[in-house]
Chains A and B, each alone.
Chain A
């Protein structure tokens, strides 16, 4: 294995580990925050302003954590799509006619496998 390949490999593993840690942290946050919010943290004994502020912060962290999970999943779908496109491009014959267009825009993107016509 070349150094470049080793570098890519090690970077991929550490990135995967980081994602896994982030996913666990986010999952714990999403699962735990409603329980915290339902507990006595915001009981009638807590002044309304403080209770409201705590609730706002809990809601903010919960919302961001949920959005982060969605972001990770969408990123995975986008990555797999890029890999499929790269694999398809690599499988094309080298003497294929080059395209007239030099820049690809999203408007002229080829139909996706995931979208039925």
Chain B
């Protein structure tokens, strides 16, 4: 597998796993109409590949190497927090509704997918035979 193929595969796998987690959770929390489901998919399409690209690019050029595990953890939490805020604002813009509720939905979806990501990232990395971060 070439580096490029691996990078695109990792981004695609991360997005697919993220959607597999976040769409059902969004639906369970009330985002069930066609527009709402499309919006949930699209906010993830907007944020997830971008985040994984930044992780892969940072890892590729060695920016993550000097970081301790604590610093990596803090970076992960900060990145996920930023994603929650961006997805919250995008969902609110596209679907309307009450702001606190949208924030709660965005946070719930991303906490679930990030948690699953922490569990699955080593497995996916092993399958793709490449170590490195994977954000769901």
Contacts and interface: CB of A to CB of B under 8 A. Distances in A.
Contacts of B43: 70, 74
Nearest to A43: B2
B46 A59 contact: no
A55 B31 contact: no
Interface stretch (A1-9, A75-83, A92-100): A75-83
Contacts of A63: 11, 49-50, 53
A42 B4 contact: yes
A109 interface: yes
Nearest to B34: A114
Nearest to A59: B53
A87 interface: no
Contacts of B2: 37-38, 42
Interface string A76-117: 011011000100000000000000000001110111111111
Interface residues of B, number: 38
B92 A106 contact: yes
A57 to B, nearest CB: 10
Classify the secondary structure of A's interface with B.
helix
Interface string A33-53: 010011001100000000110
Interface of A: 34, 37-38, 41-42, 51-52, 55-56, 58-60, 62-63, 66-67, 69-71, 73-75, 77-78, 80-81, 85, 105-107, 109-117
Interface of B: 2-5, 7-8, 11, 30-33, 35-36, 38-39, 42-43, 45-47, 49-50, 53, 56-57, 60-61, 90, 92-101
